Amino acid sequence: MQSLPLLNLPIHHIGVATKSLESEKRIFQSLGFTQEATFSDERQGVRGVFMTLHPCKSSLAFQWRFELLENLESSKRLDNYLKTHNKLYHIAFETHNIELDMQSILNYDFSSHNALDSHTHSIESYEKAASSNAVGGGGYMQINNTLPKAMQKPIAYGKSRLLIPPMEAEYFAKLCFIMLPNRLLIELVEPKDT
């Protein structure tokens, strides 16, 4: 079985949709994050700020990075996320060959993965643990009603879709967006030469 290409790419950041960069930035700062960089990208219709957290003050090697994004005045790029209060916009992976990695992800067959088996096993484990911990000495819980809707039925795996082909960007040399079969939006980012 082929390996998932994303396993070989480091996570660069997690994108967060916001109505107000300033309000969201204050929340991240209260958690210990600092501002790394700001940008405005007309082509994507967003402005953003990268916020980082260095778990160990003496090391810059390992860090957490969030990209807080806000629509430009004339843009509706983030509207669907904001309407549903879904702040997770995307997970971005760093690549040094965006075309090659993009094709690898698009050609990956998610249906060949054992995800359905592990998904079924996780629901069974959850049901067993929950019914054994039920209040009142073993009363059966309607566990399927308490699971998130996505876990109530098997996920259909198939092919990924390219939403935005590789393009130049303000902050990166190139970026592209791919929708995975489970509807998770991922971004591939190719850094500018420094």
pLDDT tens for 145-191 read: 443 444 444 445 568 999 999 999 989 999 999 999 888 999 999 99
Question: Are the C-beta atoms of 137 and 191 separated by less than 8 Å?
Answer: no
Tell me what pLDDT residue 102 has. 94
| Whether 52 and 140 share a structural domain | no
Q: Residue 102's domain is classified under what CATH number?
A: 3.10.180.10
In three state form, how does the secondary structure of the chain look? CCCCHHHHCCEEEEEEECCCHHHHHHHHHHCCCEEEEEEEECCCCEEEEEEEECCCCCCCCCCEEEEEEEECCCCCCCHHHHHCCCCEEEEEEECCCHHHHHHHHHHCCHHHCCHHHHHHHHHHHHHHHHHHCCCCCCCCCCHHHHCCHHHHCCCCCCCCEEEEEEECCCCCCEEEEEECCCCCEEEEEECCCC
| Whether 23 and 36 share a structural domain | yes
| Whether 131 and 167 share a structural domain | no
d(C-alpha 3, C-alpha 95), whole Å: 16
| Whether 166 and 178 share a structural domain | yes
| Whether 70 and 131 share a structural domain | no
Question: Are the C-beta atoms of 86 and 103 separated by less than 8 Å?
Answer: no
| Whether 14 and 88 share a structural domain | yes
For residue 49 the two structure tokens come to 């700020």
Host domain of residue 122: 114-152
| Whether 11 and 83 share a structural domain | yes
Tell me what pLDDT residue 183 has. 87
| Whether 80 and 164 share a structural domain | yes
Tell me what pLDDT residue 92 has. 96
| Whether 120 and 58 share a structural domain | no
> Which residues have a Cβ under 8 Å from the Cβ of 54 and sit 6 or more positions away?
60, 62, 63
d(C-alpha 188, C-alpha 99), whole Å: 10
Tell me what pLDDT residue 193 has. 82
**Distance of alpha carbon 97 from the chain centroid:** 20
| Whether 35 and 102 share a structural domain | yes
| Whether 21 and 73 share a structural domain | yes
Domain count, the chain: 2
| Whether 68 and 163 share a structural domain | yes
Tell me what pLDDT residue 158 has. 67
Low-confidence ranges of the chain (pLDDT < 70): 1-5, 55-62, 112-158, 194
